[in-house]
Amino acid sequence: MRLWLSVEWKKARRRRLWLPVAALVAMQGLWLAWAVRGMDMQEAAQGYLGCLYQLPMMNAIVMPVAAAVLVSRLCDMEHRGDTFKQLFTMQPAYGLFDAKLVLGGAWLLAAVAGQLAAIRLVGAWKGFSDALTMGDVLCYLGGQFLVSLFLALLLQALSLRYKNQFIPLAAGLILGFLGLMSMFFPPAVMRLSPAAYYGLLSNVRMVWDRDTRVVTYFRRPFPWDDLGLLAAAMAALYLWGRRDFVNREV
């Protein structure tokens, strides 16, 4: 695996894969700064929880598109040069599939870590007085990354199957749209949309008091049942996508 990853890294190092990741983190950081610009002391008392609640909602919309761009740039090299036959004389097909998934996952992990850094910077700027605990960091990092990895796996299977890279890009747009629409439905319906798991795996929830018009954020236990559903779907998708790629004629 180390050799295959090294080869993929060398092939992709001039593809500017950092660009969609940096653009995503910068956009979300600027959006957070804009959203909290008028925050008073009472709102700053739960500022970190508010950010941890809002960013997963935004991820459900924009992360599928960012993942589609990243995966497409990783996978279109072989399509463009029609080099699958040559590559498979030097490495097995499953090695190529796994190496691209690991490399794409590493960039998505960097994106989620960048989001946490943006939350921290915005909190220091506005003087958030609540605590950003290690539990909050781990729940956010683990939950948001696993959903991103699932989407990357789905989009990679499409990117490797179809030479036309518009297909995974269109799928990313559709997944983002479904992620947005799923927010208006109960959890039972949200579980049918992959991007909705950004919100489902968040450990922060919100209550809005209609009379006082005050929003209160609170922590909840991590939703291990939703994580189990996602893990089962990811395992099934990985087995199917890997087998489909290995058995495909090139």
Please write the tens of the pLDDT for every residue from 106-164: 999 999 999 999 999 999 998 888 889 999 999 999 999 999 999 999 999 999 888 88
Classified as helix, coil or strand, 113 is helix
Q: So what's the pLDDT on residue 81?
A: 66
Between these two residues, 35 and 84, which has the higher pLDDT value? 35
- Residue 128 is given by DSSP the state -
**How far, CA to CA in Å, does 9 sit from each of 103, 108, 190?**
8, 15, 36
Q: So what's the pLDDT on residue 63?
A: 94
The answer to whether residue 60 scores a pLDDT higher than 90 is: yes
The answer to whether residue 4 scores a pLDDT higher than 70 is: no
232 pLDDT tier (thresholds 50, 70, 90): very high
The answer to whether residue 35 scores a pLDDT higher than 70 is: yes
Q: So what's the pLDDT on residue 7?
A: 64
Distance separating alpha carbons of residues 201 and 224, to the nearest angstrom: 8
First-to-final CA distance of the chain: 22
The percentage of residues in the chain with a pLDDT greater than 90, rounded to a whole number, is: 52
171 pLDDT tier (thresholds 50, 70, 90): very high
